[in-house]
Structures are given as C-alpha cells and as structure tokens.
Amino acid sequence: MVRLVILSVCVLVLVAPLAEATSDRLQVTAKIVETTFTGDFAHPQIGDQLINTVELFDKHEKEVGTGAGACTHMRQDKL
C-alpha cells in the first residue's frame, strides 16, 4: 500500500510540470500490474532496482493511462 501511494505521488510530480496553467487536475489511482526486482530480494545489494509498472484509473475506475517507477537500493550505514 505504501509503495502504491509513493508511486502515485511520483507520477503526479513528474506529470505536473508538463501540464498547462489552464489544465484541470485529475486525481488518479495507480494499480501495480508488474513488479520486477533486479537482484536477490532477500539480500539486496547496492544498485539493485525495484521496478513497478502501473495502470492509472480515474474516480470512475476508467483506465486513463500507464506509468512506471524504479527505486535503486543505496548504501545503508550500520548504526
């Protein structure tokens, strides 16, 4: 669920600058249709990626677009 919210925000942030000032806002829901992890999910290494492909739906559950997002595993310092 958290990934879905984060991905929705990322999609909106990327699309917002492309819109004209006169455009209307459209709230969409992203549903993950495919997830790929490059590496060993149980033991992630630096550079491994989590890639999601999503379909975007409006409030009437009509498909209005698609999107994708990728997160790259970065170094974690031990506490």
How confident is the prediction for the chain on average, in pLDDT? Answer: 81
First to last CA, the chain: 28
Residue 72, pLDDT score: 87
CA-CA distance, 45 to 73, in Å (whole number)?
A: 7
Q: What is the mean pLDDT of residues 30-54?
A: 90
CA angle at 3 for the pair 23 and 76, rounded to the nearest 5°? 120
Inform me whether the pLDDT recorded for 20 exceeds 60: no
H helix or E strand, kind and range, residue 4: helix 2-15
